[in-house]
């Protein structure tokens, strides 16, 4: 596949100059055999007094920006270029014992998988349990891949996708009750359903490439940051499942930026500001993902969570430290204005 370019722009606006606290930015894609970062660049206005990179507990690249100037706007403009290699879902090979459900994880893996098997959201009426177990009502043997594919496609077919500007994620039980949600709500419902069945699942935040109807793949949720799930299957490892688009067992059109046990650990952009509650005029987010036929083309990125509140600003767009690049790709930093 040609290179994919990502541009991700997030702008916060205020009625008067406000002060900014530390902002945490996650925009740099994770390197792997199926996606290779070529370049990443971030421009921040006003220029931060300090910008540095860290790896979080999941190995995600996170930029931390600190500011010493007040301003009426805070803007993040991220550009990424990467070589994206879709995995063929037919190459999704499970160990023999895991091809049918139920199966047991290897004892050596269990200590690391346990927290991803634990349920993370309340379900007092066991609505998620009941919903998940309906996918086990099939003749034996029950093939693991079929159970997970059916669950993923049921979310796509039975629930209504709705854009929601508010920060945060609905509990899985709330998504079931409402019958609607965003991509992050659907990802969490799939994760909690898989966990009900004793499977390890984690949240993925990133970008979605929409090749459009001409390619026969019209994707839902493009134009903003995207979210889906990964489920750990012996022999295949962490496998992608996107319930918003019905993508099963492949990373096709999915650009992985961050993985986490809980969605709150993979917010693309978050931070704080100090001012009057009435100062916030909201935020805008623009995300564009395009194919770049040339191997030297820059990328287009996007994504960030919603608006600011006095003391807590969600958002989205990552950064790079001046003179310091995380391994696996060149990172250039420039400050606008």
The CATH number that applies at residue 238 is: 3.10.620.30
Is the pLDDT higher at 93 or at 259? Answer: 259
Beta bridge pairs of residue 109: none
Q: Contact, 65 vs 22, CB < 8 A?
A: yes
- Pairing state of beta strands 35-45 and 330-335? parallel
- The pLDDT assigned to 43 comes to 97
Query: Are 184 and 289 members of one domain?
Result: no
Q: Residue 250 pLDDT > 80, yes or no? A: yes
Q: How confident is the model at residue 294 (pLDDT cuts 50, 70, 90)?
A: low
Q: Which residue would you say has higher pLDDT here, 293 or 14? A: 14
Under 8 Å between Cβ of 14 and 306: no
Average pLDDT over residues 43-71: 98
Q: Report the candidate in 3, 12, 9 with the shortest Cα–Cα distance to residue 281.
A: 12
Among 178-187, 207-216, 217-226, 258-267, name the one with the lowest average pLDDT.
207-216
Residue 259: inside a domain: no
Q: Are strands 71-84 and 35-45 parallel, antiparallel or unpaired?
A: antiparallel
Would you say residue 310 has pLDDT above 50?
A: no
Into how many domains does the chain fold? 2
Joined together, the tokens standing for residue 39 give: 């370049």
Q: Does 48 lie in the same domain as 96?
A: no
- What mean pLDDT comes out for the span 35-58? 97
Percent of the chain, pLDDT > 90? 77
Q: Other C-beta atoms within 10 Å of 206: how many?
A: 24
Residue in the block written with tokens 């500001």: 273
Do 65 and 131 lie in a common domain? no
> What residues does 332 pair with on adjacent strands?
41
Does one domain contain both 219 and 283?
no
More confident residue, 90 or 250: 250
58 HSE (CA, 13 A, CB side): 22
- Verify that 59 and 93 share a domain, yes or no: no
C-beta separation of 317 from 225 below 8 A: no
- 182 and 237, same domain (yes or no): yes
What's the alpha-carbon Rg for the chain, to the nearest Å?
Answer: 20
Q: Mean pLDDT over residues 239-260, rounded?
A: 97
Q: What is the DSSP string of 31-100?
A: P-SSEEEEEEEEEEESPPSEEEEEE-TTS-EEEEEE----EEEEEEEEEEEEEE-PPPGGG-PPPGGGSE
d(C-alpha 72, C-alpha 84), whole Å: 38
Considering the domain architecture, whether residues 32 and 149 belong to the same structural domain is answered as no
CA–CA separation, 69 vs 66, rounded Å? Answer: 10
Residue 331 has pLDDT above 90, yes or no: no
Tell whether the model's pLDDT for residue 42 goes beyond 90: yes
Asked whether residue 260 is assigned to any structural domain, the reply reads no
Pair 95, 190 in one domain: yes
In-domain check, residue 285: yes
Q: Is residue 14 part of a domain?
A: yes
Rounded CA separation 91/85 (Å)? 13
Q: Of 203, 221, 252, which residue constitutes the final position of a domain?
A: 252
Boundary (domain end) residue, out of 224, 252, 280: 252
Residues 244 and 100 in one domain: yes
What band does 38 get if pLDDT is binned at 50, 70 and 90? very high
How much is the pLDDT for 309? 34
Same structural domain for residues 119 and 205?
yes
**Last-in-domain residue among 200, 221, 252:** 252
Predicted local distance difference test score (pLDDT) of residue 327: 30
Nearest one of 202, 293, 302, 210 to 247, comparing CA atoms: 210
Percent of the chain at pLDDT > 70 equals 85
Phi/psi for 6 (5° steps) reads -125, 135
Q: Among 332, 328, 308, which residue's Cα sits nearest to residue 320?
A: 332
Q: Are residues 97 and 77 in the same domain?
A: no
| Strand 160-161 with 180-181, pairing | parallel
Would you say residue 329 lies in a domain? yes
Token representation of residue 325: 């690049």
Q: Quick check: pTM over 0.75? A: yes
Q: Is there a domain that residue 258 lies in?
A: no
Same domain for 80 and 126, yes or no, is no
- Dihedrals φ, ψ of 319, to 5°? -140, -175
Q: Specify the pLDDT at position 184.
A: 97
Q: Is the pLDDT assigned to residue 313 strictly greater than 50?
A: no
Domain that holds residue 73: 3-84+266-335
Q: Is 28 inside a domain boundary?
A: yes
Say if 257 falls within a structural domain: no
Q: In the predicted model, what is the mean pLDDT of residues 289-308?
A: 51
């Amino acid at each position: 596949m040609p290179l994919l370019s990502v541009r991700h722009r997030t702008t916060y606006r205020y009625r008067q100059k406000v002060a900014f606290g530390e902002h945490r930015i996650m925009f740099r894609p994770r390197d792997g055999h199926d996606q290779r970062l070529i370049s990443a660049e971030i421009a921040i206005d006003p220029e931060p007094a300090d910008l540095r990179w860290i790896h979080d507990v999941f190995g995600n690249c996170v930029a931390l920006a600190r500011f010493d100037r007040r301003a009426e706007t805070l803007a993040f403009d991220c550009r990424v270029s990467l070589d994206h290699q879709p995995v063929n879902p037919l190459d999704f090979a499970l160990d023999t014992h895991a091809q049918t459900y139920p199966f047991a994880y290897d004892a050596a893996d269990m200590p690391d998988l346990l927290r991803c098997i634990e349920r993370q959201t309340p379900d007092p009426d066991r609505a998620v349990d009941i919903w998940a177990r309906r996918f086990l009502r099939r003749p034996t043997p029950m093939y693991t891949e079929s159970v997970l594919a059916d669950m993923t496609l049921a979310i796509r077919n039975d629930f209504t996708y709705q854009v929601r500007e508010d920060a945060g994620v609905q509990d899985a039980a709330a998504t079931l009750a409402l019958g609607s949600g965003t991509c992050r709500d659907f990802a969490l419902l799939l994760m909690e359903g898989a966990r009900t069945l004793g499977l390890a699942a984690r949240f993925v935040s990133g970008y979605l490439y929409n090749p459009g109807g001409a390619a026969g793949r019209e994707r839902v949720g493009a134009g903003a940051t995207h979210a889906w799930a990964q489920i750990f299957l012996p022999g295949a490892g962490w496998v992608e499942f996107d319930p918003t688009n019905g993508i099963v067992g492949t990373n096709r059109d999915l650009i992985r930026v961050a993985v986490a046990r809980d969605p709150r650990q993979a917010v693309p952009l978050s931070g704080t500001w100090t001012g009057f509650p009435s100062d916030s005029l909201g935020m805008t987010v623009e995300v564009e993902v395009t194919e770049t036929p040339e191997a030297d083309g820059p990328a287009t990125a996007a994504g960030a969570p919603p608006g600011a509140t006095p003391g807590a600003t969600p958002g989205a767009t990552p950064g790079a430290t001046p003179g310091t690049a995380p391994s696996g790709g060149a990172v250039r930093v420039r400050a606008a204005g």
